[in-house]
Amino acid sequence: MDLGTARSLLRQMLGDQSQSVWSDSDLNSFLNRANIRIHRRLVIEQPELATTIYLWDFTANSEELPIQGTSASVPGGTVRDTAGTAVDPIISIERLFWKRSGLTSYHSLPIRSLDDMEELTAGSNVAYDLLSVIPAVAGGLSAYVIDAYTKLLIRPTPQFNMVIKGYVNTDIGESALSSDSSDLLNGKFLPLHDAVMHDAGFLATFKDESLREEFMVQREDVMRLHSERALTNREAY
């Protein structure tokens, strides 16, 4: 469903007097905000549906790995943009894996807090040198996210080229619904487009408690049915 259609349906739900209360610009603002709110709920409540696979090439002995604004090949030969734009930034990385370039087996790459990181220079510590050369045997590698999900640090710093695979959550972005032809939720999660409209109605009717509650109930019904369908294979519609 696109913005123009959603706005027209929202007016019908708001009633005959909607045009005297809310302009098209008002409803566009409510729908944009609802678009973000529903997507972020999906990220939190059903992350398995909202993750995208990204692959990044890590060059041996690199200090850091940029993870936005570059291209990456994913299994099957598809090329995807690894975010980095204003409308689709990375907001969380759910899981990471790594493998040596040219090999096929991936290993888990835990994401740790910067409080756990020890910045040791190669050559100054025997244990550190061993970890850098044989991380899979001597304790493994760890990832640290910095600069608002724009870069990764891998420690101990690998002395070999490798590929990092990430399961990433991306934000729709405040400017996603920029025209009447813009699709809700980037054209994904079609059953939840109704939830976006109900949430926009919830935001618009803050002065009418009874109507606001009705929009809230309808929004939660859509979210619940979508969750049940995802988890149990029950038909939600």
Residue 165: how many CA atoms within 13 Å on its side-chain side? Answer: 14
pLDDT at 74: 45
**Domain boundary pick from 170, 194, 217:** 170
- Indicate if 82 and 155 belong to the same structural domain: yes
Indicate whether 84 and 22 sit together in one domain: no
**Does 57 lie in the same domain as 15?**
no
pLDDT at 221: 94
Residue 235 falls inside a structural domain: no
Q: 């894996």: which residue's tokens?
A: 97
Do 181 and 116 sit in the same domain of this protein? no
pLDDT of the residue at 200: 97
Judge whether 27 lies within some domain: yes
Indicate the residue among 153, 170, 187 that finishes a domain: 170
Domain range for residue 89? Answer: 50-170
pLDDT at residue 3, rounded to an integer = 96
Same domain for 77 and 165, yes or no, is yes
113, 94: one domain: yes
User: Are the CB atoms for 139 and 53 separated by under 8 Å?
Assistant: no
Which pLDDT score is estimated for 175? 54
Note whether residue 234 is domain-resident: no
CA pair distance 62, 161, nearest whole angstrom: 9
pLDDT at 229: 58
Closest C-alpha among 89, 92, 3, 111 to residue 42: 92
Same domain (yes/no): 80, 183 = no
Q: How many domains does the chain have?
A: 2
65 φ/ψ angles, rounded to the nearest 5 degrees: -125, 110
Of 169, 151, 138, the residue nearest 56 (C-alpha):
151
Same domain, 129 and 26: no
Q: Which of 179, 170, 188, 184 is nearest to 34 (CA)?
A: 184
Q: Work out the number of other CB atoms within 10 angstroms of the CB of residue 190.
A: 13
Domain shared by 61 and 153, yes or no: yes
Looking at residue 98, its pLDDT comes to 93
Dihedral angle computed from the Cα positions of residues 67, 68, 72 and 76, in that order, rounded to the nearest 10 degrees:
100
The b/e string for 4-31 (b: 16+ C-beta within 10 A; e otherwise) is: eebbeebeebbeeebeeebeeeebbbbb
What are the 10-residue block averages of pLDDT along the chain, 237 residues in total?
Answer: 96 88 94 91 79 84 78 44 46 87 91 78 59 54 86 88 85 72 90 95 91 94 80 47
What pLDDT is stored for residue 166 in this prediction? 87
Residue 126 lies in a domain: yes
Residue 55 within any structural domain of the chain: yes
Looking at residue 49, the DSSP 8-state letter turns out to be G
What pLDDT score was predicted for residue 171? 65
Q: Is residue 13 part of a domain?
A: yes
- Domain C-terminal end among 170, 190, 209: 170
